[in-house]
């Protein structure tokens, strides 16, 4: 017998490519390419390090560069908004690592060139 507290609920992503707007798709595809993962895997349940890290970075850029709310981002990925807030905070912390910061800056520069980012700001979920 399963109690309510023991059930793991998964949310279906609203994504399918049609649900994400052009800017959102560009961010997700750019991050996936930099992390060498298929962008479709970011929406799924995969938790491998590369997929999970790429997903967190995509969430971060959607929040800080496109100013999407944590609720919107959570719906895109089929996650809870607190997961998005945690991911954004984790990426901010990881930016202290020089290699990670370099990668974030490369992605940010590419997004700015594409006109899909406004530069670095702190997230606001």
Residue 20 has what pLDDT?
A: 81
Written in H, E and C, the secondary structure of 37-105 is CCHHHHHCCCCCHHHHHHHHHHHHHHHHCCCCCHHHHHHHHCCCHHHHHHHHHHHHHHCCCHHHHHHHH
pTM: 0.81
What is the C-alpha separation between 110 and 116, in angstroms, rounded? Answer: 9
Residue 2 has what pLDDT?
A: 47
pLDDT in tens, the chain (125 residues): 444 544 445 566 654 444 689 999 999 999 999 999 999 999 999 999 999 999 999 999 999 999 999 999 999 999 999 999 999 999 999 999 999 999 999 999 999 998 866 655 444 45
Distance between alpha carbon 62 and the CA centroid of its chain, in Å?
A: 6
Residue 10 has what pLDDT?
A: 54
Domain 14-113, architecture per CATH: Orthogonal Bundle (1.10)
Domain ranges of the chain: 14-113
Residue 69 has what pLDDT?
A: 96
Q: Strand, helix or coil at 22?
A: helix
**In degrees to the nearest 10, what's the CA dihedral of 64, 104, 10, 20?**
60
């Amino acid at each position: 017998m399963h109690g309510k507290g023991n059930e793991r609920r998964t949310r279906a992503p609203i994504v399918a490519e049609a649900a994400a707007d052009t800017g959102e798709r560009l961010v997700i595809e750019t991050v996936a390419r930099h992390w060498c993962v298929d962008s479709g895997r970011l929406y799924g349940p995969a938790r491998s390090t590369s997929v999970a890290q790429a997903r967190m970075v995509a969430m971060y850029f959607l929040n800080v560069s496109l100013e999407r709310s944590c609720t919107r981002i959570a719906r895109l990925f089929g996650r809870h908004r607190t997961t998005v807030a945690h991911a954004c905070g984790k990426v901010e912390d990881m930016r202290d690592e020089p290699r990670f910061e370099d990668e974030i800056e490369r992605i940010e520069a590419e997004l700015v060139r594409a006109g899909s980012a406004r530069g670095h700001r702190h997230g606001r979920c």
